[in-house]
Amino acid sequence: MARVMAVTFETHGQLHYLDPGTSQYRVGDMVLHPTEHGSEVAQVVWAPEHVDSDNLTGLPVCEGMASEADLRRDRENRQHKAQAERIAKELIAKHELPMKVVGIDWIDRSDEFDLMVAIYFTAPGRVDFRQLIGDLARNLRARVDLRQVAGRDAARLTGGIGSCGRDLCCSTFLTDFEPVSMRLAKVQNLSPNPLAIQGQCGKLMCCLKYEHPLYVDFGKQAPAVGERVSSPIGDGTVIGHSVPAQSVTVRNRDGEVARCPLTEVCVKSKRRKERHGALQRRAQQEPHTTQEDK
C-alpha cells in the first residue's frame, strides 16, 4: 500500500498527488511541491493516508512545509501573474487579435532563463501574434511563451461549476481526456441533443465516459423498465432506474410507487437472458465516432 496525500495550487483547483514520506501533514497546511522549475507552494487538501492502488506509486516526494520566505514569494508571484494577465489582455485588444487569455504561469526559477511568462489562450483558429509577443516581452521584461489550448484544456485552467452543481471534473481530479461518444449518452438514457449534454468546454461531458461502466453493470443486473418484478411492496412493474442509488422504482397493482434496492427486487419476466445478451452486444459495439477537441 502506498502512502499518499493530495495538494492543490489554486482554491478548488486540480489535485496533485504527493508522497508525504515519513512526515505528518494536515488539511490546510502549505507545503512545497517539486516541479520542473523548482519547488512551488501548494495547499494540502487530502491528509496523508494509505491507499491500495498501483496507480499511486512512484509519486514525487513532498519537500516539507513552506517557509515564510516561500509564502512571501508565492504571494508576490500571484500579484505578478495578475498584472501580466491585465497587460496581456490590453495588448491583445490593442492588436485586435481574436484571442482569449485563460491562464498565466509566472516562472521565476529556471536554469535556462531568469524569468518566463507562459500565457495560455484560446482562439477560433491560428493567430499571427509575432508583433504581440514582442510587445509583451518589452512590457513584462521577461521571456514570453504563448500557448494556444483547446476547449477542454481551457476549461481545466479556468475551472467552474458543472451542470451537476459540483466543480468541473477536469479542473479537480481528471488527468486525461478520453474520447466521448453519443452512444454513452444513450446508455444513460440522456437526451441525444449534444447541446443538452455538453460541458463548459463545449464538448460532451467527460463524466459520460468514466461513469459508463457503472451503467453497463447496472443494466446487466437490473430489470428493464416495464418488466414484472416481485418487490418489498408486492408484485409490480418497474417504471424507473436510479443507477447511483443502485435501485429501481416499482409501481404495484394498487398504484403504490416505491424506490426499492436492486438486491430486494426479483424479476418475474422470462426475457431476462435475452435482454442481458443484447446489453452485452451493445457494450461490445462501442462506436468509433467521437466528439474530440479540434
Percent of the chain with pLDDT over 70: 89
Could you tell me if 167 and 180 are in contact, meaning their C-beta atoms sit under 8 angstroms apart? Answer: no
Taking CB atoms within 8 Å and a gap of at least 24, the contacts of 264-268 are 264/231, 264/232, 265/222, 265/223, 265/229, 265/230, 265/231, 265/238, 266/229, 266/230, 266/231, 267/223, 267/227, 267/228, 267/229, 268/227, 268/228, 268/229, 268/230, 268/235
Residue 148 confidence (pLDDT): 92
The tens digit of pLDDT for each residue in 216-230 reads 888 888 888 888 888
Radius of gyration of the chain (CA): 25
Mean pLDDT of 133-154: 90
Supply the pTM of this predicted model: 0.69
Residue 111 confidence (pLDDT): 61
Mean pLDDT of 231-242: 88
Of 108, 128, 149, the position where a domain reaches its end is 149
The tens digit of pLDDT for each residue in 26-75 reads 999 999 999 888 889 999 998 999 887 766 778 899 999 999 999 999 99
Residue 145 and residue 75 share a domain: yes
Domain containing 89 equals 71-149
> Is 167 within a domain?
no
| Count of domains forming the chain | 3
Res. 2: pLDDT tops 60: yes
Res. 7: pLDDT tops 50: yes
> Is 94 within a domain?
yes
CATH number at 225 reads: 2.30.30.140
> Is 274 within a domain?
yes
Residue 112 confidence (pLDDT): 64
Residue 110 confidence (pLDDT): 66
Residue 226 and residue 264 share a domain: yes
Residue 276 confidence (pLDDT): 52
The tens digit of pLDDT for each residue in 187-204 reads 888 888 888 888 888 888
Could you tell me if 265 and 229 are in contact, meaning their C-beta atoms sit under 8 angstroms apart? Answer: yes
> Is 139 within a domain?
yes
Mean pLDDT of 213-242: 88
Mean pLDDT of 223-238: 88
